[in-house]
Copies of this chain bind each other. A is one copy, B any other.
Amino acid sequence: MSVIPFGLKPRLERMAKDIDILFDTWLKVPSDSRARLYEAMRHAAIGGGKRLRPMLVVASSELFNVDRDRAMRVGFAVECIHVYSLIHDDLPCMDDDDLRRGRPTVHKAFDEATAVLAGDCLLALAFEILGEEATHPDAFVRAELMAELARASGPSGMGGGQMMDLAAEHQELDLPAVTRLQHLKTGALFAFCVEAGAIMARVPAEHRTHLRGYARDLGLAFQIADDLLDVEGDEEEAGKRLGKDAEAGKATFVSLLGVDRARQQADMLVQQAIDHLQSFGKEADTLRAIARFTIERTH
């Protein structure tokens, strides 16, 4: 059982339901030969996942009284990016995983070509969603959301981090190198989520320093927790194969620091993340709860 900070659990449950509804609405299966593509996207997207990224978008939007429906659309777009990255990461030429969220991965349940396309289409779909006026009536905001999400996803963000991760199988990374890899691979998208509320409220970039600090520390804490779960977690609860990093001889926070120091480091980062929110009152409580949740979760 996961230990979820008081108040966050029902919110995560509601989020899971709302995101499933959005996927179901956007991915209605067409009555032509694209049906298989939509089925594959639905297989990967619906009914699983912590939905932590959309939760971050909604929580950051609460700081600035941004309308929840709009925040949900942005969170949904980020989740499209996240799901696309999982589908491609699971491919035989990448991590070669058969199981994800307790179900066969897309290339197992369908085939590799469909998996590649399903990922591609979810990536494009994210920008389709953000581009609609319903996301935000102000075109400046829509343009900034799309530009920032593109940066967070591409070669200077998640895509570049994934390349570093592939290269890590043939290299001996030290702590700064692993930290940089993770800042790109998971941190960039986290940072987008946390800044999204401020973008929607048109808070200028120079006033988002605290939020970026929060996102940076949260992202690393999340990754250390992931590394710990890869070593100590329960495969059934995780719904995926564990122990892969050690098997591949990849340097992680845990292999470099050891279990105990890694856990201390994660605790410290969470405290630091929460400290960045000092200038906010109760409206930042969800972000604080999310920070604690990242290291207390069991999958």
Q: Chain A: residues with CB nearer than 8 A to chain B?
A: 30, 32-34, 36-38, 41, 84, 88, 91, 93-94, 111-114, 116-117, 119-121, 123-128, 130-132, 139-140, 142-144, 146-151, 153-155, 157, 159-160, 162-164, 166-168, 171, 180-181
Chain B CB within 10 Å, residue with most, of A36, A123, A151: A123
Residues of B within 8 A of A164 (CB): 32-34
* Contact in complex: A33, B153 (CB < 8 Å): no
Least distance between A106 CB and chain B CB atoms (Å): 12
User: How many copies make up the complex?
Assistant: 2
Q: How far is the CA of A163 from the CA of B120 in the complex (A)?
A: 11
Q: How far is the CA of A164 from the CA of B131 in the complex (A)?
A: 25
Q: Indicate which residue in B94, B128, B155, B171 contacts A124 across the interface (CB closer than 8 Å).
A: B155
**A93 with B111: in contact, given A143-B139, A146-B146 (CB under 8 Å)?**
yes
Q: Indicate which residue in B37, B150, B180 contacts A160 across the interface (CB closer than 8 Å).
A: B37
Q: How far is the CA of A84 from the CA of B127 in the complex (A)?
A: 16
Closest partner residue, chain B, to A91 (CB atom): B116
Residues of B within 8 A of A111 (CB): 93
Q: How far is the CA of A91 from the CA of B124 in the complex (A)?
A: 19
Least distance between A14 CB and chain B CB atoms (Å): 27
Q: How far is the CA of A149 from the CA of B127 in the complex (A)?
A: 9
* Contact in complex: B128, A150 (CB < 8 Å): yes
